[in-house]
Structure 1
Amino acid sequence: MADFLWLMYLGFMGTTAIWFLIKGKYKNNITRLDFVISIITWFGLFGYVTGTEMLTPIVWKFVFIFGLLWDVLFTIFFTDRFAGDFGLEEDEKEMPLGAKLSGLLFVVPLYYGIFQYAF
């Protein structure tokens, strides 16, 4: 059952990233960098879920550290600035901290998997 849930999470993360790419939501360099980092972390989670050995553990340790740091920085500092690129209303007030933290909560399984894969 756990493997099925991991595969569902993996599929959801990959589908979301590809959907944003197809819809042209990555309009500037910051959001494109976010896409690239998302794809790299997705490959790490894919390796963990499927038990496939890709690259070396030291690479995944760096991916874990820098990916997690990037997600926290992007969510807290850049989400409001690039809201229009992701289809959100730019006229609205700044996103509440609770909403940002719940967004970060969604990626906890991603970084748990990468951590297990790297260490």
Structure 2
Amino acid sequence: MIQIFWYIYAAFLATSTIGFFIHGGYKSPIFLIDLAFSVIAWVGLFGFVTHYQIFTPFVWQVVLAAVVLWDLLFFFFIKAYFTEAEPEAGSASMTVISGVMMLVLLGPLYYALFQYAF
């Protein structure tokens, strides 16, 4: 039963990325780099869900560290330089709320990569 939820979660991530891609979200090269990190993380999620060993655990330990570091740097620092929106009043609190939402949405991915790597 829990396996079905993992498949639904993986489908949700893929669907949201495809939607972002269709609406022109990956125009900048930095967003394409983010897409590459996401795809690599999804390969790990796929391996975890299907119990299929892809690469070695050491590779996934490095991938886990790189993905978490990239997501944090990208979300809080890099993305602001490549978006065209003007900063609004109260944007610091919105950044914190958005960061918590990012953690809620990507937390299961990080958990799966951790379990797959260790």
For 1:1-119, list aligned pairs within 5 A: 1-84=1-84, 90-91=85-86, 93=88, 94=91, 95-119=94-118
The alignment's TM-score, normalised by the length of structure 1, stands at 0.85
1:64, 1:111 within 8 Å by CA — same for their partners in 2?
A: yes
Q: Distance in 2 between matches of 1:79 and 1:102?
A: 16
Q: Determine if contact 1:45/1:114 at 8 Å carries over to the other structure.
A: yes
Unpaired segments of 5 or more residues in structure 1?
85-89
More helix by share: 2
- Provide the rounded CA distance (Å) in 1 between the counterparts of 2:73 and 2:49: 26
Coordinate RMSD, CA, aligned: 1.6
Tell me how far apart the structure 1 counterparts of residues 101 and 109 of structure 2 sit (CA, whole Å): 14
Give how far 1:13 is off.
0.8
Taking every aligned residue pair, what percent have the same amino acid on both sides? 39
- SS of residue paired to 1:100: helix
Q: Residues 6-64 of structure 1: CA distance to partner in whole angstroms, max 9, x if unpaired?
A: 11001111222233233331111211100000000011001001111111111111110
Provide the aligned length of Structure 1 versus Structure 2.
114
| Residue aligned with 1:55, SS | coil
Letter in 2 for 1:81: Y
Give the structure 2 partner of residue 87 of structure 1: none
